Amino acid sequence: MAHVVVVNDQGPDEEIVSVLGESGVATVTEAMGRTGLLDPCIRPIYRGARIAGRAVTVLSQAGDNLMIHAAIEQCRPGDVMVVATMSPSTDGMFGDLLGTALKARGVVGLVIDAGCRDVSDLQEMGFPVWSRAVSAMGTVKATAGSVNVPVVVAGAYVRPGDVIVADDDGVVVVPLELAKETAVLAPQRTESEAEKRDRFQNGELSLDVMNLRTTLTSLGVRYVDEQGQVLPDASPR
Ligand SMILES: O=C([O-])CC(=O)C(=O)O
Ligand SMILES: [Mg+2]
């Protein structure tokens, strides 16, 4: 297959990206029916970062970061670079030099299904990376790959222009055609959780707030005393 760099203008509205970023990974995946998550082996190199942005995808030969260099030019402010490799790798294909270049271009973070190095420097400069591994093993710049083609990253299908949301919980991809709808559903979920949180804080039981007693009954779960005698109600004696 020919290797290509696709110049892609497609992407979500800024407002949608910002709502998805505020919602966070757990809420966004729930709003999409528990889909879109990357395998949790992809971890942030430091805690506390929360980003969202348009995906610029890279398909690289393992242990070769030539195409990451080629992809920098295709990035615009607010983007997230997403790197997949053609075979499994934990090599440190990305570090603070590339981080500096991406940051200068306004890229808000990187997701890489391989290794990352210079993690203290990246943390200090505030460039968040989600990677499969931290590894000092260096790479070459010698083999062709592609930029802005659909890729599978840690089990998730990512197309250029999709929205990537990443935080301490992991990474989720929102397909571009679902972004608008998800940006409506996710805040509704956040609001409903806030309501539940208030009620839990006031001492209400989740069994009541979430109507789970009916579920327990329908599943045949019974309250019994220590002798196994069925009790009329659930009150602790
Ligand atoms: O130089 C490389 O290939 C990766 C790296 O360590 C950096 O970007 O700082
Ligand atoms: Mg380095």
CATH for the stretch 14-187? 3.50.30.40
The annotation status of 237 as a binding-site residue, yes or no, is no
The residues that bridge with 78 in the sheet, in sequence order, are none
117 lines ligand 1 (CB under 6 A): yes
The answer to whether 60 and 68 have CB atoms below 8 angstroms apart is yes
pLDDT in tens, 185-234: 999 999 999 999 999 999 999 999 999 999 999 999 999 999 999 998 88
pLDDT on residue 235: 82
118 lines ligand 1 (CB under 6 A): yes
Helix-helix angle 176-201:14-23, to 10 degrees? 40
115 lines ligand 1 (CB under 6 A): no
pLDDT on residue 131: 98
Q: Which residues contact 182 (CB under 8 A, 6 or more apart)?
A: 20, 28, 31, 32, 174
pLDDT on residue 49: 98
pLDDT band, residue 236 (cuts 50/70/90) = confident
pLDDT on residue 233: 84
Q: ipTM strictly over 0.90?
A: yes
Please state, in angstroms and rounded to a whole number, the distance separating the CA atoms of residues 1 and 13: 33
pTM of the predicted model, to two decimals? 0.95
pLDDT in tens, 7-66: 998 999 999 999 999 999 999 999 999 999 999 999 999 999 999 999 999 999 999 999
The annotation status of 118 as a binding-site residue, yes or no, is yes
Please state, in angstroms and rounded to a whole number, the distance separating the CA atoms of residues 72 and 191: 38
pLDDT on residue 22: 98
The answer to whether 189 and 30 have CB atoms below 8 angstroms apart is yes
In the chain, residues under CATH classification 3.50.30.40 are 14-187
Task: Give the CA distances from residue 204 to residues 188, 199, 216, in Å, rounded to whole numbers and listed in that order.
Answer: 21, 6, 18
Please state, in angstroms and rounded to a whole number, the distance separating the CA atoms of residues 14 and 37: 22
Q: Which residues contact 212 (CB under 8 A, 6 or more apart)?
A: 206
Specify the residue with its C-alpha closest to ligand 1, atom 5: 95
Largest CA distance in the chain: 74
140 lines ligand 1 (CB under 6 A): no
Res. 1: pLDDT tops 80: no
**121 CA distance to ligand 2 centroid (A)?**
9
